[in-house]
């Protein structure tokens, strides 16, 4: 069966907003007097906002009400939005534009499965919002990664079975989401970390479309 859709994660695959997330979470953790470093930030890859906040609170043994958590999550998000406001097409990873052109040429659907509720805003800043046939973000699903819901939501929007879709991820949680959805999987990053993927590339620039299409 041919592959008819490529479903991309955003952070770490098409652009790098990880630094902005790190700065925003680090500032919040500092307010709470919770130690937070880049290793902690790696643990938050692919995890939604409330899950990330819970990680920080648990690390610092901080107990808060649900309302207090929501207030802090909103505060972090506002800080993050201020940071990404200056993003532009120059922040798009090398190779993305060329890969999208190849997919369009072959009439393959392009979807997004992002844990971020700010995904649409980032796509617009990057100048690629119009390249996507469907965008699923944290606002459209009940279950975050590693649950498969977000990838399956995109497949359903395309009226395609999972085995006609390829998911592209840089995080372990995201890759688990793709595998659970029973889609073909591409990892972006280190093979020893993303060993569950069908194929792994160091970055999008290294992406071999024909090799991936041959997975079907």
Residue 143's CATH number? 3.40.50.1000
Same structural domain for residues 156 and 184?
yes
46 labeled part of a ligand binding site: yes
Whether 134 and 178 share a structural domain? yes
What pLDDT is stored for residue 192 in this prediction? 94
In this structure, the strands spanning 109-113 and 165-169 are unpaired
Is 124 labelled as part of a ligand binding site?
A: no
pLDDT of residue 116: 85
45 neighbors 172 (Cβ within 8 angstroms)? yes
- Determine the structural domain holding residue 69 and report its residue range: 18-84
Asked if residue 119 and residue 63 are part of one domain, the reply reads: no
Q: Is 182 left (phi over 0), alpha (psi -120 to 50) or beta?
A: left
* List of residues 6+ apart from 177 with CB closer than 8 A: 46, 113, 145, 146, 147, 148, 150, 151, 167, 169
Per-residue pLDDT of the chain (216 residues; tens, 9 = 90+): 799 999 999 999 999 887 898 999 999 999 999 999 999 988 888 788 899 999 999 999 999 999 999 999 999 999 999 999 989 999 999 999 999 999 999 999 999 999 888 899 999 999 999 999 999 998 889 898 899 999 999 999 999 999 999 999 999 999 999 999 999 999 999 999 999 999 999 999 999 999 999 998
Q: Say if residue 126 is in the same domain as residue 188.
A: yes
The reply to whether 186 and 100 lie within a common domain is yes
Into how many domains does the chain fold?
A: 2
Element (H, E) at 74: helix 66-84
Q: Say if CB 176 and CB 145 are below 8 A apart.
A: yes
CB 186 within 8 A of CB 166: yes
pLDDT at residue 122, as a whole number: 94
130/80 Cα distance (integer angstroms) = 23
Domain boundary among 40, 61, 84: 84
Examine the domain organization and report whether 98 and 183 are in the same domain. yes
15 bridge partner residues? 11, 92
Catalytic residue numbers read: 9, 11
Residue 76 sits in the same domain as residue 99: no
Residues 142 and 48 in one domain: no
**Is 144 annotated to bind ligand?**
no
**Coarse DSSP helix, strand, coil percentages of the chain, rounded to the nearest 5 percent:** 50, 15, 40
Q: Do residues 112 and 159 share a domain?
A: yes
Q: Check the annotation: does 182 bind a ligand.
A: no
- Among residues 84, 116, 131, which one ends one of the domains? 84
- For residue 6, which of 185, 173, 171 has the smallest C-alpha distance? 185
Q: Are residues 207 and 127 in the same domain?
A: yes
Q: Does 170 belong to an annotated binding site?
A: yes
Please tell me whether residues 134 and 196 are part of one structural domain. yes
**In Å, what is the CA distance from 97 to each residue of 5, 67, 131, 156, 173?**
17, 42, 9, 25, 26
Domain finish residue from 45, 69, 84: 84
- For residues 46 and 9, membership in a common domain is answered with no
Give the domain CATH number at 63: 1.10.150.240
Separation CA 148–CA 181 (nearest Å): 5
**Pairing assessment for the beta strands 109-113 and 5-8 based on DSSP bridges:** parallel
């Amino acid at each position: 069966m041919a592959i008819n859709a490529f479903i991309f994660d955003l952070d770490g695959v098409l652009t790098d907003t990880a630094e902005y997330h790190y700065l925003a979470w680090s500032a919040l953790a500092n307010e709470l007097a919770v130690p937070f470093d880049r290793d902690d930030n790696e643990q938050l890859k692919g995890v939604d906002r409330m899950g990330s906040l819970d990680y920080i609170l648990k690390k610092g043994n901080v107990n808060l009400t649900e309302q207090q958590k929501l207030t802090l999550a909103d505060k972090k998000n506002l800080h993050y939005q201020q940071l990404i406001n200056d993003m532009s097409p120059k922040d798009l990873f090398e190779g993305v534009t060329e890969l999208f052109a190849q997919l369009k040429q072959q009439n393959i659907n392009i979807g997004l499965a992002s844990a971020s509720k700010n995904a649409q805003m980032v796509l617009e800043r990057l100048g690629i919002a119009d390249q996507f046939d469907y965008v699923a973000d944290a606002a459209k699903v009940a279950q975050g990664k590693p649950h498969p819901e977000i990838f399956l939501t995109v497949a359903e929007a395309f009226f395609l079975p999972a085995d006609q879709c390829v998911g592209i991820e840089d995080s372990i949680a995201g890759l688990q989401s793709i595998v659970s959805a029973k889609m073909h999987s591409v990892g972006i990053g280190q093979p020893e970390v993303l060993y569950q993927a069908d194929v792994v590339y160091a970055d999008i620039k290294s992406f071999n479309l024909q090799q991936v299409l041959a997975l079907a």
